[in-house]
Amino acid sequence: MKLPKITPISEIKSPKLTAEENPSISVFYDGTNKLNTMQIDCKLYTNPKDCVHQSGCGWCGELTRCIKGTQIGPLEPCLRSTYIFTSPANVPFQKTENIEMGSLIANISTQ
């Protein structure tokens, strides 16, 4: 069996295409063309749980309302320490008490 002749890439004649490139690593897409964007009105969500489940929204505890934001922080005026972007873990509240019963100490957990 005879193998086909392989032509080196340097010998292939085809029209040259110019690729758009930007050699700088500091220049990036700035969003001016609004590619892959969705407008969400965060003010519509009055419940913190519903708010933090919306992309681009976060709950401002200071204002007690849903505002635009990211995981980095709020995009509207809000005290940073009161801003929540993701929902807390779904762990039930649990209270643990040590109760003395004579010479024994009972550890009681309630939910």
pLDDT tens across the length of the chain (111 residues):
788 888 887 787 777 777 676 666 665 666 677 666 667 899 999 999 999 998 889 999 999 999 999 989 999 999 999 999 986 555 454 556 666 666 666 665 555
At residue 14, the pLDDT reads 75
Per the domain annotation, does 35 fall within a domain? Answer: no
**How many domains in the chain?**
1
CATH number of the domain bearing residue 66: 3.30.1680
Per the domain annotation, does 51 fall within a domain? Answer: yes
Structural domain harbouring 69: 40-88
Helix boundaries (H) for the chain: 48-52
Per the domain annotation, does 82 fall within a domain? Answer: yes
Per the domain annotation, does 4 fall within a domain? Answer: no
At residue 108, the pLDDT reads 59
For the entire predicted model, the pTM comes to 0.47
Buried b (16+ CB within 10 A) or exposed e, 88-97: eeeeeeeeee
DSSP designation for 50 = H
Closest residue by Cα to residue 59 from 36, 40, 79? 79
Per the domain annotation, does 57 fall within a domain? Answer: yes
Q: How far is CA 93 from CA 3, 90, 97, 101, in A?
A: 72, 9, 13, 25
Query: Dihedral of the CA atoms 67, 80, 56, 45 (nearest 10)?
Result: -30
